[in-house]
Chain A
Amino acid sequence: MSLIEESNTGSGTENPEAGRIQDTAWSLNEVWIRYGSWAVTACNLTIFFCLWEIFARSGAVNPLFLPSASDMFAALWNGLTTSAPPGAVISGSIRDHLFYSLSNLGIGLAIACVIGVPAGLLMGGNRYVETILSPYVWALASLPRIALVPLFILFLGFTVKMQITIITLSAVFPIIINSWAGVKTTEKSLLAAARVFGASRRELYTKVVLPYTLPFIIAGIQQGIGRGLIGVIIAEIFGGSRGLGYLVNRSADTFNSALMYAVLFLLVVVSLSLIQITRWLEAYVAPWRRINTL
């Protein structure tokens, strides 16, 4: 009943609400809870690489199989900061191949989004589209994409087009399936609420279904990045003379294990960074889901 009194008295001199949300300083403990895991991870990785270095230098394994960590980092640094001289055993440095692979991944992912998001939304929104498309989506999604590589080499040759096609095909299905699932799982009560307050059919889609589905779409893109990166490497290992996949293959062929480890390490870093970016994006557009997930 305090409600009524307050609304009647209107603007009182003191604002009782002012005290409800306050800024507080962080205690040391809270700082630790928030940033402690970073410190632990930093120590953890440092110890890991130190142990690796000691183990590799002890001579217990052939350096061809396991180069020392410092050699790997040297090769990585070297490859990222310099260009390979013309006529070297491996043409192009890590940097050149990285840009090539990333731009292909970017193009492939963009095409996958342009196709996948509308396809998924349509499948979720229209029963006929769903019925017609779903067997193809499930069939192609469950087919190991690597099996299609020979086919596309046959069609398109050892070209960038072939590589981008494989990347797109790898990335598009998680995007379709997630967008589709997002539309299908839109909470009934949200739709009912929007309808009660007068939303048209169009508004139900634009103002309820689409915002609800957005985090699903981003989750789909997140999976698409992982799959797309696999597509990049497969396409380049099978048929290509550029890119990180080619570089892994080529460095193994030339017994340059430091370079090979450097590329593998770089792939981990690239993959994790891209996925982390989509996580931030998801947390930004859908903060209500953050508390439900890890």
Chain B
Amino acid sequence: MNLANSKQLETAPDPAPARTAETAAPIIVSKGLTVGYKLHRERKKLTALRDITLSVNRGEFVVLVGPSGCGKTTFINAISGLVEPWEGSIEVSGKPVTGPGPDRSMVFQDYALMPWRTVESNIRMPFEFQNLGLSKQEIDDRVSNCLELVDLTGFEKSFPYELSGGMKQRVGIARALVIQPDILLADEPFAAIDAMTREAMQSELEQIVTRTGQTVVFITHSIDEAIALADRVVVISFRPGRIKEVVDINLPRPRFEYDVKMLPEYSELREHIWRLVKDEALQSARGV
């Protein structure tokens, strides 16, 4: 198994040349970003993220790892424009983020599909809210292409409650991809999906974004998932979240195909990231 894989490694061409070629152009630039929430009832402010300085390059797949409550979600909310920075700045394509825009879209942990809309109508929803200057025909084509992309052809008229968790999240992914955003934000999208389906979906996501060249910022609790997907893993410390370390993942893609879990580097990376996360996770579990 291992042998076969390493042999494949030698003969296979560089699987994702685009990813390394364009590293010069950062698309998301966060400088000294501090964000938090007001707790109205207690007259307190909670700093979720402190002093985050990070730039993400165009076409890069960045995965944020950290314990619960470390502010990972806050970071992608800041990129999406759902929350405003308290201090510091966040820029997308050179412009400060002032609100949501069609260049960014998000996949949610609990799918966030409108239960009263069919699969097709859910995927079409982004076009109802923003005019991207597409004709009706172009929109129809994009919707049906996205349905095909996530393997849901035939389920257009189904409602979300009739689908399994994995299928619901495929709808969520299709809805995010249909506007062809530059940046795909994903907030633990596979956390509620069973382990087998999750691995398959990770591989599908990897291939989709490799093909479309989207920049991805992805949140997970799972170190395995992080290594399976990321170009860079950003480890964030417990509240208030700070960047603890950025780990480059130089494993060949597509990773599911190469069975990277069998490579010796894999366990080294896993060990390394686990050491970084361990103390934070313990702190988070104690609720300090």
A residues sitting closer than 8 Å to B (CB atoms) are 1-4, 6-7, 17-18, 20-21, 187, 189-190, 192-200, 203, 207-208, 211-212, 214, 285-288, 291
Contact = CB atoms under 8 A, between A and B. Distances in A.
B151 A196 contact: no
Chain A to chain B: the 9 pairs with minimum beta-carbon distance, closest first: A198-B130, A17-B154, A193-B112, A288-B115, A197-B126, A198-B129, A189-B112, A288-B161, A199-B129
A3 B208 contact: yes
23 contacts: A1-B203, A1-B204, A1-B207, A2-B151, A3-B150, A6-B151, A17-B153, A17-B154, A20-B155, A193-B106, A193-B108, A193-B114, A194-B125, A196-B82, A196-B100, A196-B106, A197-B100, A197-B125, A198-B101, A207-B128, A211-B116, A212-B116, A214-B116
Contacts of A17: 153-154
B148 interface: yes
B121 to A, nearest CB: 11
A213 B104 CA distance: 28
Interface of B: 77, 80, 82, 100-102, 104-106, 108-110, 112-116, 125-126, 128-130, 145, 148-151, 153-155, 159-161, 175, 179, 203-204, 207-208, 211, 254, 256-257
A212 B153 CA distance: 27
Contact of B207 (A4, A193, A208, A287): A4
A192 B82 contact: yes
B207 A18 contact: no
Contacts of B105: 196-197
A198 B102 contact: yes
Residue picked from A187, A288, A291, most chain B C-beta under 10 Å: A288
B204 A190 contact: no
Contacts of B159: 287-288
Contacts of A4: 204, 207-208, 211
A190 B203 CA distance: 27
Residue picked from A4, A20, A203, most chain B C-beta under 10 Å: A4
A215 B100 CA distance: 29
Nearest to B109: A189
A288 B80 contact: no
Given A3-B149, A211-B116, A288 B160 contact: yes
A196 B126 CA distance: 9
A31 B115 CA distance: 29
B154 A208 contact: no
A192 B108 contact: yes
Contacts of B102: 198
A291 B208 contact: no
A195 B129 CA distance: 9
Contacts of A6: 148, 151
Contacts of A207: 114, 128-129
A212 B105 CA distance: 22
A63 B108 CA distance: 67
A26 B155 CA distance: 22
Nearest to A20: B154
Given A18-B154, A211-B114, A7 B149 contact: yes
A203 B128 CA distance: 9
A64 B173 CA distance: 70
A291 B115 CA distance: 12
A18 B112 CA distance: 28
Nearest to A2: B151
Contacts of A291: 161
Residue picked from A20, A190, A203, A212, most chain B C-beta under 10 Å: A190
B254 A1 contact: yes
Contacts of B80: 196
Given A3-B151, A285-B116, 18 more contacts: A2-B151, A3-B208, A4-B204, A6-B148, A7-B145, A21-B154, A187-B112, A189-B110, A192-B77, A193-B108, A195-B100, A196-B82, A196-B104, A198-B101, A199-B129, A214-B116, A287-B161, A291-B161
